[in-house]
Structure 1
Amino acid sequence: MIIDSLANAARYYSVHPLFQEAFEHIQKQDLNNLAPGKSDISSDRLKSIVFVDAPLKTEAESLAKFECHDKNIDIQLCVSGLETIGWKPRESCTQLKGEYNPEKDVSYYADQPDMYFQLGAGQFAILFPEDVHAPMIGEGVVSKLVIKVKQ
């Protein structure tokens, strides 16, 4: 997992071959006027999901879908608001809930996070397949942009 601000995004271009394209896409956006929904950025390699004024959840609601992905890396950017995210390394998780869903590229766990962190406007987290996460915890609303990066 990586946590940082957009001002430092270029530092991570070399971590994955698609990160430069992903962050350049983010930088081209008018973040204050994003339209909610899903779109392809680069065929099936990069996809974006935009949440605008999305209601935040209780910790219990978010932990009901304590998730990780096998085929995608998430770049989760907080555009506005303050979001708390729960995290635990996948190797420490022992309570798989159901089967891996290949169509949605998601596995869920019943484990509890090892830690929580917050993202404010202009901050992002890069969550790799080994990062089990519970996003969108808090009060009020948040606007965020999630880039799905194909492994």
Structure 2
Amino acid sequence: MSQLIITPLKHISRFMGISPNLDIAFQYLAQLKLPDVVPTKEPVDLSDGVKVNVFDYQPSQTNPGSQLEGHQKWMDIHLVASGAEQMAVGSADAVKQTVDYEADKDIAFYEGQPEAVVNLYPGDVLVTFPEDFHQPGIKANDLPVRKVLIKVKVDF
């Protein structure tokens, strides 16, 4: 079973205290005003273990479970600032690795039956831990998405 966090942005402070790096990320998120969020040219370091990137994209995947990703050293925090996307989530007992782990990118790819497909709308936050396999970018509608993606180095 996945251990991810799904919460509205307004409740993100409830999860403070899990780890120092997550606290930095959650403090950053707590001060965001969604209408003011603009894309970054490149990832911005909030600390040694916390990097934020804001970007616009068009979700295009239509087959949940076909390209789940997994990380070992970094957690992902996904915040939809505008638009909508779906994200498939799963656990190790329901997936099969399809692309070997690349340590320099901290990523491997898997396929399998997702435990759930989550709808994410503006203000929704989804946090994945290393044991959570996830597939972002699943098409919810024809609108583009502005997303805040924070990479958080595991420190617990």
- Alignment TM-score, normalising by the size of structure 2: 0.85
Secondary structure (helix, strand or coil) at the match of 1:3 reads: strand
Structure 1: segments with no counterpart, 5+ residues:
none
More strand by share: 1
Question: Partner amino acid for 2:135?
Answer: A
- Residues 84-108 of structure 1, C-alpha deviation per residue, up to 9 Å, x if partnerless? 0001112432x11131000110010
Contact 2:80 2:145 in 1 (8 A): yes
Question: Partner amino acid for 1:7?
Answer: K
Q: CA deviation at 1:149?
A: 0.6
The equivalences for 1:131-146 within 5 A come to: 131-138=132-139, 139=141, 140-146=143-149
How many pairs were matched up?
A: 147
The equivalences for 1:10-29 within 5 A come to: 10-29=13-32
Structure 1 range deviating more: 20-29 or 117-126: 20-29
Residue 108 of structure 1 is matched in structure 2 by 109
1:3 to 3, 6, 11: 6
Structure 1 CA distance, aligned partners of 2:107 and 2:10? 30
Structure 2 CA distance, aligned partners of 1:98 and 1:122? 32
Residue 77 of structure 2 is matched in structure 1 by 75
Moved over 4 A (4+): none
Change (3 A) 1:38 1:64: farther
Contact 1:91 1:130 in 2 (8 A): no
Aligned-residue CA RMSD (Å): 1.7
The equivalences for 1:55-134 within 5 A come to: 55-60=58-63, 63-93=65-95, 95-134=96-135
More helix by share: 1
Secondary structure (helix, strand or coil) at the match of 2:39 reads: coil
1:150 to 136, 149, 153: 153
Structure 2 CA distance, aligned partners of 1:124 and 1:89? 19
Structure 2: segments with no counterpart, 5+ residues:
none
Residue 47 of structure 1 is matched in structure 2 by 51
